[in-house]
Chains A and B, each alone.
Chain A
Amino acid sequence: DAMVIQNPRYQVTQFGKPVTLSCSQTLNHNVMYWYQQKSSQAPKLLFHYYDKDFNNEADTPDNFQSRRPNTSFCFLDIRSPGLGDAAMYLCATSRMSGDNEQFFGPGTRLTVL
């Protein structure tokens, strides 16, 4: 089945220790998104790639970076995680046409100790 996969599902890191979350898709969608969702809050868009074009949200901290080496994979790098970065990180993909339906992965829950 075509899908959006996120690894790992749970990630624990130490304050200030860099961490990378990964997302892969078999849908061959040209757009990939990273959202941050804190407890009891709405998902908040961090950035997205339209093919290779990177689009950063204005309020996304510099601590968050992303890489998309090919159509299928996208990575979220947190250079120096703080306690406030503990959250669920959701990856999504879309075709960016028509209804712009976004397909979400199961998320990675990040804990910062």
Chain B
Amino acid sequence: KAGVTQTPRYLIKTRGQQVTLSCSPISGHRSVSWYQQTPGQGLQFLFEYFSETQRNKGNFPGRFSGRQFSNSRSEMNVSTLELGDSALYLCASSQGQTAYEQYFGPGTRLTVT
């Protein structure tokens, strides 16, 4: 089976812009989670989607949003980018419950200037 894919792999944006990141889960996986990883804060859970519905949400501002399509592919959007949004954004898919075995993609490295 193909693994989790994320596009783009690298992105440079300017403060105030918005960005959309894409994630394609492993075939058959219905849960997609998004994470932000920074050297200072480590791995932080953004949200999880299951069957096109947001099932869980972390403590991030409303500028961070996401959605999931009927084919389980997911997108994450960040509006009004801030310098502190520079991070590695990771997507993970799993067959069922989020807390169970997750498979991560390589991530999208976002740099905000």
**A, B from the same assembly:** no
Measured CB to CB, the residues of B under 8 A from A are none
